[in-house]
A and B are shown apart, each in its own frame.
Chain A
Amino acid sequence: MVRETHRYFKFDWITIILFLLLVGFGWLNILSASHTGETIDYLDFNEPYGKQLMFVFLTFGLIILILSIDSKFYERFSSIIYIISMLSLVGLFVFGKNVNGATSWYAFGGMTLQPSEFAKAATALAVAKYVSDLNTDIKKFKDQIQTFILVVIPAILVLLQNDAGSTIVYAAFFFVLYREGLPKIYLVLGVVVVLLSVFSLKFGTIITSVVAGLVIFINHFFTKKRPHFFQPLLILMACIILSSGIKFFYQSALQPHQQDRISLWLRLEKDPVKLEKMKKTFAYNLNESEKAISSGGVSGKGFLQGTRTTGKFVPEQHTDYIFSTVGEEWGFFGSAMVVIVFVLLLIRILHLAELQKSQFSRMYGYAVASIIFMHFMINIGMVMGLIPTIGIPLPLFSYGGSGLWGFTILLFIFIKLDSNRINEW
């Protein structure tokens, strides 16, 4: 019995407390964003806040379940979990329910379930399992490709379901693999492609090429062991081709609404009439969300007192735009606290991951932190107008049972793995 009691103290309570803070505060904001009228019936399951309260209670059952399963289970059955999860994504093409243009839900009576929220945890397990295998060397190209396939399968599946936001989240695995020894060239390539894209769209191909050329040649002449003169020329050629390719991709491959979002984000549109029109159409959400956050001021208007929240000025406020409620009602202090709690949670997970004895646990921990980080960065960045509009929820905060459970599973499997580390000591 003594041993049993002891075990509970081996769970990382700091992570659990941060988790509870986010879920609790998230629910308060969902209540504020979704309640209508004067009376609040907490058990009204027709209202988002009522449903979410139920989801939160069910979450505790889920947590107990996850923590009571032996930690070896997750490693051992990771492939099976992955396959089941992928099948559930494939099944959507047959049985899926279309909501807002995305076919991402299974409907069971009144309930809906979004398998893509669980696929993240499954992919994290599978990748961790595959790479930590003694036969796998991430520095080898063949293994890189196989790992890449593991990540790309769910990414492509959710993309085909018109859920582009969730696809981008799978980029999180780059952090995991880089930590485990993925060659630096991928990081350099990734950064260069992103910078080139943004520069090309913002300043045009010519300016971008000139700047790229300058950087490459300055780098060339300051390098001590100079490679052959053709090498920088080739790199520059590649850059120019990439730069014009980006423009072409932007104009022909992207859908008009995606073009508009990027054009607004990079402030490409100068015509004030068109800008005003944008604010009334696709940029409406962003514009209202920024206004709501801004109107909160330093200390906010108070819980349930936000006029823009009460007036439902920000569409989808209880889901993707929940952070604007925090901004309006809790002001700068409240919003900054939410950001800080997220940062603390992420750093705590990273810290724990680094303490892991097994590569599997460490990789899994890294995957948890990376996935939550991607969501955090994209969601809050979007709501504040720092990055283009990409529809993904704020982890543990936004309304939605699948999302809450998906992140709970993701996080608590790691807490379980981590408690085992202490056990094995």
Chain B
Amino acid sequence: MRKFLLFLSIILVGFIFILRLFYLQVYQSQDHDLFEDNAIRKVYDYPKRGFVYDRNGELLVANQPSYDVMFVPREVKPLDTLEFCSLLNINKEQFLEIYNKAYHYSPWLPSVFIPHLSKEDYAVLQEKMRKFEGFYIQKRSLRLYQTSIGANVLGDIGEVNNAIIEKQPYYKMGDLIGKQGVEASYEDILRGVKGIKFIQKDRFNRDLGPYKNGIYDTLPQPGKDITITIDAKLQEYGELLMKNKRGGIIAIEPSSGEILAMISAPSYNPNLLVGRNRSRNYSKMHYDTISKPLYDRSLLAQYPPGSPFKVLNALIGLQEKVVTTDDRFGCRMGYYLGSRRLTGCHSHYAPLSMNDGIAQSCNSYFANVYRRIIDKYDDPAEGMNVWSNHIKSFGLGNYLGYDLKIGSKGRIPDGNFYDKWYGKGRWVSTYNISNAIGQGEVEATPIQLANMAAAIGNRGYYYTPHIIKQIEGETIDINYTTPKHTTIDKENFEPVVHGMFDVYNKGTAASLQVPDIEICGKTGTAENFIKINGVKTQLTDHSIFVAFAPKDNPKIAIAIFVENGYWGSRFAGKIASLMIEKYLKGYITRTDLEDWILTHSLEDEYEKPYSGHSFGINKESTLQVIPLDESLRSKKEPNIKE
């Protein structure tokens, strides 16, 4: 027996070793992945990010160099901290905090000491850099916005977060990605593809040279330049006019669906979200929950569309053949069911035919038309569905499918909606008569209304609005060049378009005419409510305007919301006329309108709900007059060059 002790020990140990090897190498081991291997340093070569131009070739977004002060904690030698700190404008506590944090993270890996030095700071520091061992300066590329406008259109880039890295392995910690606007929509095109070098390193993190002579290395592919559909001059002018107001404007070229201007007020200078102060500025704007500068009102804000919605009811009435252009309806300062007034109206002559119904924006007229549409079918739910489908064919009630990452669906109710609300068969058209005049349950975003105006201007079709005009060496999505037809026949548009023309001619926007331009428009006024301390409170109406011009072969369609601006032609109508003139002529003849807009602010009105005092609305709304800055006024005459 004695001779087996060693023999069995040998067999046992050999067996245990093979089990352990199996555990380490087969059970516990993952496949060898260069990206996971911490013996291989991955060095990325970031390509130039693509530039962004406006439709006229004006450069909007370029790149600028930025300088990060980097350091490897273990390589830092004792230094003159006083001098170093004063060069970087920090104090010694901050110095130690940054140093210790990085040392704790890894003594051997490079960490950022101070990101995004200005060119001036860099110039001063660079000369003295050799005195500070362990520190070095790394050049990076940042965005440079060549303009102070269009923050909501252009967007910004920022560092990727963990959620993005998990979903898209292309991005590594510290990479930049488009966060909003065009930067986000066309991220893949603008960013290019980064190159990568695999470097074999040793346990002290020192480079030994390329891994396998660099056979896996790749070269960076530069990002492509893009041209967007925005007209920078129009955008700038719109932002100027929206100063001291809140709301959104969308201007579209009806013949192509190209977005000419996309304004959200209040806005901010896009350069605020670049470089060292990015996060401070971002949180400041992020936590401004009252004026919400980061909230794109042109795409996201859902408002009751108000009177511009009436023209759709007129079109549907004609299409469903429940009304003719000559049918006249009376108005007794409102629409009555028996003795109950369902909607009010303003004073105008009556009875009205369709043309005047639109021009005078008569609530009673459209209440009648709406009832005829819904009541055409025995079941109001069926009538509601027919109505809803017509409306939706104008791109309302759902995402439009444009190439920006944010949006709202708006809301267009259908039969099902009211069946759920009231119960099946327990409601009739008068229950939701407010839909006739764009109040009630309907809601739309500015871009949806601008698209609606474009569809009317085109007499029955639209192109999906889009922001991309051209990509270097590529064609744009065919979806944006294919017309979408509405459910309304072309011949039904003429009387409605003429009604909208008469809004300017003799109707609610008669005071807003622009010489030599035939504008078709529709004013709107929408009631709105907010909750103050849990109490539903009505605020001054929103001022709304929808228009396109010229009347035939329109070149611009526009929708404007001015929050709490009261009636349609008070703010929105004036801004619409000015923007249309600016875009079509390049100069302004209605300087009276421009002066009025530039000198009137709604800031006081916006303060009211937060003042804590009781306040009046609409007729008691406050209009704050501010001094005119002459330098902001537009040219009155065409340029000789133009």
Contact = CB atoms under 8 A, between A and B. Distances in A.
Query: Are A and B part of the same complex?
Result: yes
Interface of A: 36, 38, 175, 178-179, 181, 187, 288, 290, 293-298, 301, 305, 307-308, 310-315, 327, 331-332, 335-336, 339-340, 342-343, 346-347, 350, 354, 366, 369-370, 373, 376-377, 380-381, 384, 386
A350 B6 contact: yes
B215 interface: no
B25 A311 contact: no
B14 A335 contact: no
Contacts of B10: 343, 346-347, 350, 369, 373
Contacts of B22: 332
Interface stretch (B29-37, B141-149, B354-362, B426-434): B29-37
B24 A294 contact: yes
Interface string B1-37: 0110111011101101110111011101111100001
B25 A332 contact: yes
Contacts of A346: 10
A370 B5 CA distance: 11
Contacts of A310: 39, 200, 208
- Give the size category of B's interface with A: 35 or more
B39 A331 contact: no
Contacts of A181: 2
Given A296-B25, A311-B203, A327-B25, A354 B3 contact: yes
Contacts of A314: 203
Which of B2, B9, B24, B28: most chain A Cβ within 10 A? Answer: B24
B14 A343 contact: yes
Nearest to A369: B6
Contacts of B11: 343, 347
Main SS at interface, chain B: helix
A179 B3 CA distance: 6
Given A294-B24, A384-B20, A312 B203 contact: yes
Given A311-B202, A313-B39, A298 B208 contact: no
Nearest to B211: A307
B60 interface: no
Contact of A386 (B2, B5, B9, B16): B16
Nearest to B205: A311
B40 interface: yes
Nearest to B30: A297
Interface of B: 2-3, 5-7, 9-11, 13-14, 16-18, 20-22, 24-26, 28-32, 37, 39-40, 200-203, 208, 211-213
Contact of B203 (A315, A336, A380, A384): A315
Contacts of A376: 13
22 contacts: A38-B213, A178-B2, A181-B2, A294-B29, A297-B25, A297-B29, A307-B211, A308-B39, A310-B39, A313-B39, A336-B21, A340-B14, A340-B18, A343-B11, A347-B11, A350-B3, A350-B6, A369-B6, A384-B17, A384-B21, A384-B24, A386-B20
Pairs A-B, 5 closest by C-beta atoms: A343-B14, A307-B39, A332-B25, A311-B39, A313-B203
B14 A295 contact: no
A294 B2 contact: no
Given A175-B9, A293-B25, A384-B17, 18 more contacts: A36-B208, A178-B5, A294-B28, A295-B37, A297-B26, A297-B29, A307-B200, A313-B203, A332-B21, A332-B26, A335-B25, A342-B14, A343-B10, A346-B10, A350-B6, A369-B10, A386-B16, A386-B20
Contacts of B20: 384, 386
B202 A331 contact: no
A336 B212 CA distance: 27
A312 B202 contact: yes
B119 to A, nearest CB: 38
B240 to A, nearest CB: 59
A295 B603 CA distance: 65
A342 B3 CA distance: 19
Contacts of B32: 295, 297, 301
A79 to B, nearest CB: 26
B17 A381 contact: yes
B7 A347 contact: yes
Contacts of A342: 14
Given A350-B6, A350-B7, A339 B40 contact: no
Contacts of B13: 373, 376-377, 381
Contacts of A381: 13, 17
A366 B7 CA distance: 10
B217 to A, nearest CB: 15
A38 B212 CA distance: 10
Contacts of A369: 6, 10
A380 B201 CA distance: 26
Nearest to B204: A312
Nearest to A384: B20
Contacts of A339: 14, 17-18, 21
Which of B16, B31, B213: most chain A Cβ within 10 A? Answer: B16
A331 B29 CA distance: 10
B26 A298 contact: yes
A308 B40 CA distance: 9
A380 B21 CA distance: 10
Contacts of B203: 288, 311-315
Nearest to B25: A332
Nearest to A386: B20
B24 A175 contact: no
Contacts of B29: 294-298
Nearest to A288: B203
A361 to B, nearest CB: 15
Which of A305, A339, A366, A386: most chain B Cβ within 10 A? Answer: A339
A290 B24 CA distance: 8
Nearest to A184: B2
Nearest to A292: B39
Nearest to A332: B25
Contacts of A366: 6
A175 B6 contact: yes
Nearest to A301: B32
Contact of A373 (B6, B30, B201): B6
Contacts of B30: 297
A327 B21 contact: yes
Nearest to A296: B25
B24 A331 contact: no
Nearest to A293: B24
Nearest to B22: A332
A346 B6 CA distance: 10
Contacts of B40: 307
A175 B5 contact: yes
Which of B6, B13, B20: most chain A Cβ within 10 A? Answer: B6
A374 B31 CA distance: 33
Which of A305, A376, A377: most chain B Cβ within 10 A? Answer: A377
